[in-house]
């Protein structure tokens, strides 16, 4: 029975919105003020639930002061104190807050009783706070100090806390006076627009920048009531955006074994700063990719070289676009009917035959943010002027077929949300979508390895004491060099008794989109040269064999790692007779 009653009660509380009851707390701007009828003490009632995390947006708070001569409105005539009835005020709770200002023409302590009434939960809470009104004549604000803004440089949409101090004619702080904030330059929002100075004269507001870069200034003002308005303006607060000239996308390497395995990754970085290379934080970076996976967006954070956004690029479906070869005239004839393993076929992974070429492995990666277009600052004033050249950007797009223009089937970033891709508009844009891109080459396992020359050239004999060089080229199915993992990936060469390996140039798989992957192996005569004589039969031409072995690890971060190796055996005739017999 008890459990049942508790359950019903709990259900009722939930229905009433009081399963987690709100808590009333009081906060004062300062605990003392002059009894001059104009100096105020701000009292803020906060009504929150969920341990102070969720504001309540209902009910009201009634404030009552027990000091005769006090009032919740400014007292114009201090010679005629208000009656006690004026020292009560009821305020609706909005977003968890209800605020009043208490004035007094009489000296003495005041106990303010705040009663919160919840019309839904049918409950009430009471809290009290004590303040003091002391002696003193009417003190006017004669000036303001600009204390500062934190921070002084903001990204688009960023916030800064702007603080001033009110002072009297003796340079002493003035507390309890109402001030008004306004924007005098630039575009931003302020909250609050009005506030009371604390006992130390300090008063603050929060500036939130809009999506327009430039200088912003905040003004504080106070009306002394005699037609005298005291004002003070802040210093420049800079709202900065990334300049396209300083937007850079960098990856630790530009080759990844995505055609060997999905789920591989590398961490890339977008760097951004304004035209003067000053750090810009908070701005969002958006990503698009032809192949693989990237995060949707993230914010710039402060790095050693300005704003940076570090993100993970991962191999996953979809694969880079299968594009047509450029043709023999462009040095890209392609390889017809090459056997390609497609991990991302809708009907399941399988072999397929296609015309392969190196550009089949290229994937475009795009980074986008809000900022200003790049320009040539010929007069050095740090801003674009009408006669200065600039780089006019179209809306960002993914150049999947690598032809440096957008085609109808290529993805784009609809910056102005008009449902279509827009070309460069011919105007300098101080605030728009700016972007940069890189090409990542997706590589497969070694598929086509060649050795040059295929025979000793120009004759089948190598003269005595003359070295012979071979070039070994390793390619994947598209004709690109496979991606390296580390020092374990190498090409080794051995030969029999008829020769020795004199030199092997270091072999490193491609870490760029250039088609490298060439290694030179030099075969030398094992005898000391020059030789005084060489008699038959030891100096007759003899064949020799060179073995080339390639070890290739599948790719970085593959789990489990897979090793593959390819061995090539190449026989050639090596003539020891030579010129030194």
pLDDT band at 569 (very low <50, low <70, confident <90, very high): very low
Lowest-confidence range among 173-187, 248-262, 396-410, 492-506?
492-506
Average pLDDT for residues 392-416, to the nearest whole number?
A: 94
Give the pLDDT confidence score for residue 408 in this predicted structure: 93
Query: Residue 170 pLDDT more than 70?
Result: yes
Higher pLDDT, 152 or 165: 165
Q: What is the mean pLDDT of residues 373-396?
A: 90
What residues form DSSP beta bridges with 354? 338
Start and end residues for every CATH 2.60.40.10 domain found in the chain: 17-134, 143-240
pLDDT at 549 over 80: no
* pTM (predicted TM-score): 0.61
Q: Which helix (H) or strand (E) holds 160?
A: strand 159-167
pLDDT at 539: 55
Predicted pLDDT at 579: 33
- How high is the pLDDT of residue 296? 86
For residue 8, the 8-state DSSP code is: H
Q: Would you state the pLDDT for residue 529?
A: 55
What mean pLDDT is reported for the chain?
A: 79
Q: What pLDDT, in 10s, does the model give residues 324-347?
A: 888 777 777 778 888 888 888 888
Please check the confidence at residue 39 and state whether its pLDDT lies above 90: no
Instruction: Report how far residue 292's alpha carbon sits from residue 363's, in angstroms, rounded to the nearest whole number.
Output: 8
Q: Please report the pLDDT score of residue 406 as a whole number.
A: 95
Identify which of 350, 251, 321, 265 has the alpha carbon closest to the alpha carbon of residue 555: 265
Pick the residue with more confidence: 375 or 19?
375
Q: How far apart are CA 131 and CA 65, in angstroms?
A: 10
Model confidence pLDDT, tens digit, residues 86-131: 689 999 999 999 999 999 988 889 999 999 999 998 999 999 999 9
User: Which of 217-231, 291-305, 428-442, 540-554 has the least mean pLDDT?
Assistant: 540-554
Q: Please give the structure tokens belonging to residue 466.
A: 């003359």
* Nearest alpha carbon to residue 151 among 279, 273, 277: 279
- Specify burial of residue 118 (Cβ count, 10 A radius: 0-12, 13-18, 19+): buried
In this predicted structure, what is the pLDDT of residue 523? 66
Pick the CATH number of 448-574 from 2.60.40, 3.30.450, 1.10.10, 3.40.1000: 2.60.40
Hey, what CATH class is 143-240 in? mainly beta
Q: Which helix (H) or strand (E) holds 3?
A: helix 2-16
The answer, yes or no, to whether residue 572 has pLDDT greater than 70, is no
Secondary structure E strands in 192-247: 194-196, 202-209, 214-223, 229-233, 237-240, 242-243
- Model confidence band, residue 512 (pLDDT cutoffs 50, 70, 90): very low
What pLDDT, on a 0 to 100 scale, did the predictor assign at position 409? 93
DSSP letter string, 262-301: SS-EEEEEEEEB-TT--B--S-EEEEEESSSB--SEEE-E
Higher pLDDT residue, 383 or 555?
383
Short-list 393, 322, 328, CA closest to 356:
322
Side-chain half-sphere CA neighbours of 141 within 13 A: 32
Is 17-134 assigned to CATH 2.60.40.10? yes
Q: Which of 11-15, 296-300, 355-359, 444-448 has the lowest mean pLDDT?
A: 11-15
> Whose CA is closest to 225, among 29, 74, 43, 72?
74
Which is it for strands 88-92 and 237-240: parallel, antiparallel or unpaired? Answer: unpaired
Rounded to 5°, angle at Cα 205 from 203 and 208: 165
Give pLDDT tens digits for 469-480. 777 777 888 888
The residues with which 547 forms a beta bridge, in sequence order, are 494, 569
Contacts of 567 (CB under 8 A, 6+ apart): 547, 548, 549, 550
Q: How many CB atoms lie within 10 A of CB 318?
A: 13
In the predicted structure, residue 274 carries a pLDDT above the cut 50 = yes
Secondary structure (3-state) at 245: helix
Tell me: pLDDT of 441 over 50.
yes
* pLDDT for the residue numbered 457: 42
DSSP string, 479-537: SPPPBP-STT-EEEEEE-TT-EEEEE-----BSSSS---EEEEEEE-SS-SS-S---TT
Question: How far apart are alpha carbons 442 and 572 in whole angstroms?
Answer: 36
**Is 504 a residue whose pLDDT tops 70?**
no
Q: CA-based Rg of the chain, rounded to a whole angstrom? A: 39
Q: Shortest CA distance to 513 belongs to which of 438, 406, 405? A: 438
Q: Tell me the average pLDDT across 146-167.
A: 90
Closest alpha carbon to 363 in 254, 265, 448, 287: 254
Mean of pLDDT values over 262-288: 83
- What pLDDT is stored for residue 559 in this prediction? 37
């Amino acid at each position: 029975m008890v459990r049942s009653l508790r359950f019903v009660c709990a259900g009722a509380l939930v229905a009433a919105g009081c399963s987690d009851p709100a808590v009333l707390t009081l906060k004062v701007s300062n605990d003392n003020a002059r009894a001059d009828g104009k100096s105020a003490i701000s009292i803020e009632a906060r009504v929150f639930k969920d341990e102070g995390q969720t504001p309540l947006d209902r009910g009201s708070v009634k404030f009552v002061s027990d000091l005769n001569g006090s009032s919740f409105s400014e007292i114009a005539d201090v010679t005629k104190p208000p009656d006690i009835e004026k020292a009560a005020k009821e305020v609706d709770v909005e977003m968890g807050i209800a605020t009043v200002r208490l004035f007094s023409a009489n000296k003495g302590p005041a106990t303010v009783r705040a009663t919160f009434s919840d019309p839904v939960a049918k409950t009430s809470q009471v809290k009290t706070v004590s303040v003091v009104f002391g002696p003193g004549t009417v003190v006017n604000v004669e000036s303001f100090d600009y204390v500062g803004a934190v921070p002084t440089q903001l990204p688009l949409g960023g916030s800064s806390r702007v603080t001033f101090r009110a002072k009297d004619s003796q340079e002493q702080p003035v507390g309890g006076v109402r001030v008004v904030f306004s924007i005098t330059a630039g575009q931003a929002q302020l909250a609050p627009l009005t506030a009371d100075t604390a006992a130390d004269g300090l008063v603050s507001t929060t500036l939130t920048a809009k999506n327009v870069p430039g200088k912003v200034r905040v003004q504080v003002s106070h009306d002394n009531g005699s037609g005298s308005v005291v004002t003070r303006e802040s210093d420049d607060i800079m709202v900065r955006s990334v300049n396209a000239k300083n937007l850079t996308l960098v990856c630790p390497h530009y080759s990844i074994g995505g055609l060997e395995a999905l789920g591989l990754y590398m961490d890339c970085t977008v760097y951004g700063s304004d035209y003067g290379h000053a750090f810009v934080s908070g701005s969002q970076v958006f990503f698009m990719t032809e192949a693989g996976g990237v995060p949707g967006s993230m914010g710039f954070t402060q790095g050693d070289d300005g704003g940076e956004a570090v993100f993970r690029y991962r191999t996953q479906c979809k694969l880079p676009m299968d594009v047509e070869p450029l043709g023999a005239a462009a040095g890209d004839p392609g390889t017809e009917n090459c056997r390609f393993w497609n991990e991302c076929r809708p009907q399941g992974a399988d072999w397929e035959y296609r015309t392969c070429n190196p550009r089949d492995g290229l994937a475009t990666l795009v980074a986008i943010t809000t900022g200003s277009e790049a320009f040539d600052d010929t007069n050095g004033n740090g801003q674009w002027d009408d006669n200065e050249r600039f780089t006019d950007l179209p809306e960002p797009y993914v150049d999947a077929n690598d032809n440096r223009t957008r085609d109808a089937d290529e993805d784009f970033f609809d910056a102005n949300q008009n449902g279509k891709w827009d070309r460069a508009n011919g105007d300098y844009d101080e605030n728009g979508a700016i972007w940069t891109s890189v090409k990542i080459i997706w590589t497969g396992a070694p598929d086509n390895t060649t050795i040059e020359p295929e025979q000793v050239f120009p004759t089948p004999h190598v003269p005595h004491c003359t070295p012979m060089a071979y070039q070994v080229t390793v390619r994947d199915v598209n004709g690109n060099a496979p991606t390296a993992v580390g020092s374990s990936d190498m090409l080794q060469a051995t030969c029999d008794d008829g020769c020795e390996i004199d030199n092997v140039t270091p072999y490193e798989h491609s870490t760029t989109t250039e088609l490298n992957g060439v290694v030179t192996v030099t075969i030398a005569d094992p005898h000391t040269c020059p030789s005084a004589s060489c008699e038959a039969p030891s100096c007759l031409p003899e064949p020799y064999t060179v073995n080339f072995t390639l070890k290739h690890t599948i790719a970085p971060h593959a789990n489990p790692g897979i090793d593959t190796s390819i061995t090539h055996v190449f026989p050639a005739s090596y003539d020891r007779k030579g010129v030194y017999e």
